[in-house]
């Protein structure tokens, strides 16, 4: 049986996740290799990253729908894919100018093609298993970012790809 590493970190909630120092530091520590940051937002990470955000006002290399970019990608393979989409339709409307996440199942299906064997997918959201065993992923690490009071946690899941 593999060991699952769990961390519990108290920090504020912000709509731009990586603007919270504790989350940014954790992410920079856990990522490996070249990073494909598909919902990059505002904060530049101290990582070797290719950044994408549909919002043209965000600092990014690409301003595409994440799924379209993934499907059309013919460049290098990545060591880590970062997924930090709007967590719900209502949040897209209220917080991110109505930019909604691509269909998430299709997004997940498109990821293995652009990831190195042994690479990581790190997902932020309300769920702990994202890519899953059927796609060849093993859950290695979970971080619960606790925002206190009645605010739900942000769950970060780290899954490693071992293609069959």
The residues binding ligand SAM (CB under 6 A) are: 16-19, 39-43, 52-55, 58, 65-66, 84-86, 96, 99-102
42 versus 71: smaller Cβ distance to ligand SAM: 42
Measured distance CA(3)–CA(22) in Å, rounded = 24
55 versus 109: smaller Cβ distance to ligand SAM: 55
Q: How far is the CB of 164 from ligand SAM (least distance, A)?
A: 29
* Among the listed residues 88, 9, 70, 18, the one whose alpha carbon sits nearest the alpha carbon of residue 46: 18
84 versus 159: smaller Cβ distance to ligand SAM: 84
Dig out the tokens for 111 from the structure.
């990821």
Q: How far is the CB of 65 from ligand SAM (least distance, A)?
A: 4
Q: How far is the CB of 92 from ligand SAM (least distance, A)?
A: 6
């Amino acid at each position: 049986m593999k060991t699952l590493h769990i961390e519990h970190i108290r920090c504020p909630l912000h709509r731009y996740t990586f603007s919270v120092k504790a989350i940014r530091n954790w992410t920079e520590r856990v990522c490996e290799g070249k990073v494909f940051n598909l919902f990059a937002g505002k904060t530049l990470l101290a990582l070797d990253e290719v950044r994408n955000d549909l919002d043209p006002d965000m600092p990014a290399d690409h301003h595409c729908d994440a799924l379209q970019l993934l499907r059309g990608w013919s460049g290098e393979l990545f060591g880590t894919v970062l997924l930090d989409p709007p967590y719900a339709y209502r949040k897209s409307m209220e917080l991110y100018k109505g930019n909604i996440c691509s269909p998430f199942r299709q997004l997940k299906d498109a990821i293995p093609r652009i990831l190195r064997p042994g690479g990581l997918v790190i997902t932020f959201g309300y769920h702990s298993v994202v890519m899953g065993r059927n796609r060849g992923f093993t859950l290695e690490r979970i971080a619960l970012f606790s925002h206190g009071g009645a605010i739900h946690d942000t769950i970060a899941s780290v899954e490693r790809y071992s293609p069959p």
